[in-house]
Amino acid sequence: MKKLKIFVLAIIATLVFIIGIYFSNLLSKQNKIPDYAQRTEEVKLAYEYALSNPEVLSKIPCYCGCYKLNHQSVENCFVKEFKKDGGVVFEKHGAYCGMCYSIALEAKELFQQGKDISEIRQYIDNKYSKYGGRPTNTPL
């Protein structure tokens, strides 16, 4: 009888372990950065920053012309939507546009230096407006 109890407990423990791994993998895949967003280290860092700091990038305009794609900020170059269930719909554009990921990484660096959003935005506006591109209509 004692061996049966141990056997049953071992099966239950194994099932709990397998179920835990399944749900852990399911959750980790939910916001996994797509392969195209890992084509270079810079691109990967920009996508990671867009995922973890949307409150910064949503206030920073993009100057690459992506307003034609209905982007509202440089955040939209990487993320189309943050879903209510925690999922993310990614945007491919940022993976292939050097201006987009440069702006995102510069914003990241400036934010890490302690600059506030208005200072970051002023820097980005001053630097990229001279290239003549129309910025996204990004509210501050």
Q: Of 92, 75, 88, nearest to 32 (Cα)?
A: 88
Beta-bridged to residue 88, according to DSSP, are 82
Judged on CB neighbours under 10 Å (0-12, 13-18, 19+), 63 is: buried
> 12-66 pLDDT, tens per residue?
656 565 665 555 444 444 458 999 999 999 999 999 999 999 999 999 999 999 9
So what's the pLDDT on residue 140?
A: 82
Minimum mean pLDDT range among 19-28, 101-110, 121-130: 19-28
Of 83 and 10, the one with more pLDDT: 83
What pTM was computed for the model?
A: 0.77
Backbone angles phi, psi at 55, to 5 degrees: -65, -20
